[in-house]
Amino acid sequence: MSFQDHFSAHAADYARFRPDYPEALFAWLAEQMPARELALDVATGNGQAARGLAAHFARVRASDASAAQLAEAPPDPRIDYVCEPAEQCALPDACVDLITVAQALHWFDLPAFFAEAARVLKPSGALAVWHYPRLKVDGEVGAVFEAYHALVSPYWPPERLMVEQGYQSIAWPFPAEPVPTFVLERQWELAALLGYLGSWSSTRRAAEATGTDPVAEFAPRFAAAWGAEATRMFRWPLQLYLGHRPE
């Protein structure tokens, strides 16, 4: 399967508006590892997960098939950024303690990626994959959000259906282990919400297909529902898989 690039054209918006992951997630993952020498973050984008891992591992390798996405990653002496596809890693066999994939597995050739993950992981090393479905929004803003989602959802690439299904169709390479619940939370102004919606691949595809920017079309409705509050809380429940390679 060739690389499906839905994000390079708006990599700057992706870096600016996509929410970071909770620090508690990375601390918990580190606690599950027998060693913390090398973590590999695949499809790192602008390095959000890689920066979280860097606080807990001696080295972090962050790979992405999009050079434009990597160009938006802030330099960090603890992180080596590499442009390569998820299914073809230049690392040698059995050298990685933890592989992470954040909100990206649905774009991969899964059999090829899982085989590569098994190759580069150390015995007892682990694969951690997480994604977040639709955000949870309360009140009138939530009603407008649902209407917006209904408008653009037909334009999601077909791979996105795996996210909507909660990754339930995936045959994981290692037995799934019990995991705690993590929630991604952000206190946002209205402009941040609109920027986040603008970073969706479905938003861009809808604009290309119809000639109309759906965010601009919905902005007055969001503003009317927003009310007098300067910011509002937005929540994404993370869905996490963790599996260790057998020794």
12 in a structural domain: yes
Identify the pLDDT of residue 148: 97
Going by pLDDT thresholds of 50, 70 and 90, the confidence category of residue 15 is very low
Identify the pLDDT of residue 50: 97
pLDDT tens digit string along 216-245?
Answer: 999 999 999 999 989 998 888 899 999 999
Host domain of residue 86? 8-244
Say how far apart CA 247 and CA 245 lie, in whole Å: 6
Going by pLDDT thresholds of 50, 70 and 90, the confidence category of residue 3 is very low
Identify the pLDDT of residue 245: 97
Identify the pLDDT of residue 6: 41
8-state DSSP, 58: S
pLDDT tens digit string along 60-101?
Answer: 999 999 999 899 999 999 999 999 999 999 999 999 999 999
8-state DSSP, 56: T
- Any idea of the CA torsion for 72, 104, 51, 194, to the nearest 10 degrees? 60
Say how far apart CA 39 and CA 53 lie, in whole Å: 7
CA 150 to chain centre: 21
- Angle formed by the axes of helices 214-226 and 201-210, nearest 10°: 120
Identify the pLDDT of residue 218: 98
Say how far apart CA 44 and CA 36 lie, in whole Å: 19
3 in a structural domain: no
1 in a structural domain: no
Mean pLDDT taken over the chain: 90
Structural domains in the chain (count): 1
Say how far apart CA 70 and CA 176 lie, in whole Å: 30
- List C-alpha distances in Å: 220 to 17, 22, 144, 211, 227: 20, 31, 10, 19, 12
- Any idea of the CA torsion for 153, 159, 186, 215, to the nearest 10 degrees? -30
Going by pLDDT thresholds of 50, 70 and 90, the confidence category of residue 16 is low
Residues 104-109, mean pLDDT to the nearest whole number: 92
Going by pLDDT thresholds of 50, 70 and 90, the confidence category of residue 199 is confident
47 in a structural domain: yes
Backbone angles phi, psi at 123, to 5 degrees: -55, 130
151 in a structural domain: yes
105 in a structural domain: yes
- 153 half-sphere exposure, CB direction, 13 A CA radius: 11
- What CATH number is attached to the domain comprising 13? 3.40.50.150
2 in a structural domain: no
pLDDT at 172 over 50: yes
